[in-house]
Amino acid sequence: MAPDVKRLSAPDSSTPYRLFSPLNTRTPAQLLAETFDTRGRRRDKRRLEQPRTIFGYLNAVRQAKGSAYVEMGKTKVVVTVYEPREMPKQNNFDGHGELHCEIKFAPFSNVKRVQLQPGPEEREMAATVKRALEPVVLRHLFPNFQVDIFAYILENDGGCLATVINAAGLALADAEIPIYDTVTALTVGVQGDKVIVDPNANEEAMCLASIVADNAGGNHGLIVKVMMPQMEQVTELWQRGSITFDTVLDIVDSHDLAYQNLYKTMRSILLRKCDQFLKDKMVKDANKTPYEVEIEILINNMSV
């Protein structure tokens, strides 16, 4: 086959241009000075162990079986869940249902350009979300079926993976998919001896950029811990960067208060949906005629 002379072939070895960008040429002291003030606090006045405020509601997309909209700081995510359907192109019987996850960044969500097709980062996030949710869902109740989970990231200001997992847990509950417990996820950033809970985009870039800036080594990177608070089980642990084993163990065994507060907020979102459902049902039952109530009781008895 003749070579393609119109295409410029890449050299055998090259150095990424991002290594010479201003973010990577700064020293760790300069990065810390830009991220923290003189008192050691964050620029948004949060403490190191304080996560961002979470906001969300259910039934954001009415066409789906279940959906959720979640904000963690400025990170905004919409997740839709559809009811179980038969696995396509499946010849062998599978005793456990499957989870099909897809994640897509909105074109305006990032500073960098977003491709039309899911890129490597989106595929990696989808695989991580699938691993995190598989121990949570009672997959043996729908054998040979799959549940489709689609996440659309509207704005990315750090912690988008944890936000997607939290929204997916709420969407699964809204879709009435059987689960063991509400899943919660939180991002922890590490740089040297500082442990930053729920970092934003600038803090995440600082933690990851220190891998290049700090030639002497040390702890720097990100950890996403996913757990079921009531069952006290970790379903997934995602890590990026260079972090010692002892530091990872300390992070896994700590920050229980942040997870409990996150769980209380997500539980209040679910309880608010249940309260609204009961109110709508009471209004609907109050408007029924005695004949309609008798017919409904008869149909329920026939179904039992």
Banded pLDDT at 245 (limits 50, 70, 90)? confident
Dump strand ranges (E) for the chain: 54-58, 66-72, 75-81, 85-86, 98-105, 145-155, 184-191, 194-197, 220-228, 233-242
Res 81: pLDDT:
93
**CA nearest to 30, candidates 217, 214, 219, 196:** 214
What is the predicted pLDDT for the residue at 106? Answer: 84
Q: Is residue 118 part of a domain?
A: yes
More confident residue, 46 or 210: 46
Give backbone dihedrals phi and psi of 136, rounded to 5 degrees, phi first. Answer: -90, -35
Beta bridge partners of 104: 152
CATH number of domain containing 61: 3.30.230.70
Buried b (16+ CB within 10 A) or exposed e, 64-89: bbbbbbbbbbebbbbbbbbebeebee
Distance (Å) of CA 293 to CA 14, 193, 298, 301: 75, 66, 9, 12
| pLDDT of res. 143 | 85
What the block records as the tokens of 202 is: 């600038």
Give the mean pLDDT of 152-173: 91
Confidence of residue 287 (pLDDT cuts 50, 70, 90): low
Inside any domain, residue 180: yes
Interatomic CA distance for residues 183 and 136, integer angstroms:
7
- In 136-219 the beta strands, taken as DSSP E runs, fall at 145-155, 184-191, 194-197
Q: Tens digit of pLDDT for each residue in 250-269?
A: 888 887 788 888 888 888 88
What mean pLDDT value characterizes the chain? 79
Higher pLDDT, 263 or 301: 263
pLDDT score of 8 more than 60: no
**pLDDT at residue 221, rounded to an integer:** 86
34 has a pLDDT exceeding 80? no
Question: Would 293 be classed as within a structural domain?
Answer: no
- Which segment, 92-96, 112-116, 130-134, is predicted with the most confidence on average? 130-134
- Count of all residues that appear for the chain in the document: 304
pLDDT for 45-55, tens place per residue? 788 888 888 89
Query: What is the predicted pLDDT for the residue at 132?
Result: 92
Domain assignment of residue 179, yes or no: yes
CA 186 to CA 192: how far, in whole Å?
20
Residue 15 has pLDDT above 90, yes or no: no
Task: Answer yes or no: is 197 within a domain.
Answer: yes
Cα–Cα distance, 208 to 280 (Å, whole number): 49
What pLDDT, on the 0 to 100 scale, is given for residue 216?
Answer: 43
Q: Does the residue 304 lie in any domain?
A: no
Residue 270 located in a structural domain: yes
Q: At what angle do helices 160-174 and 120-133 cross, to 10 degrees?
A: 50
In a domain, 241, yes or no: yes
> What's the domain range around 189?
21-282
Say what the pTM is. 0.80
In the chain, how many domains are there?
1
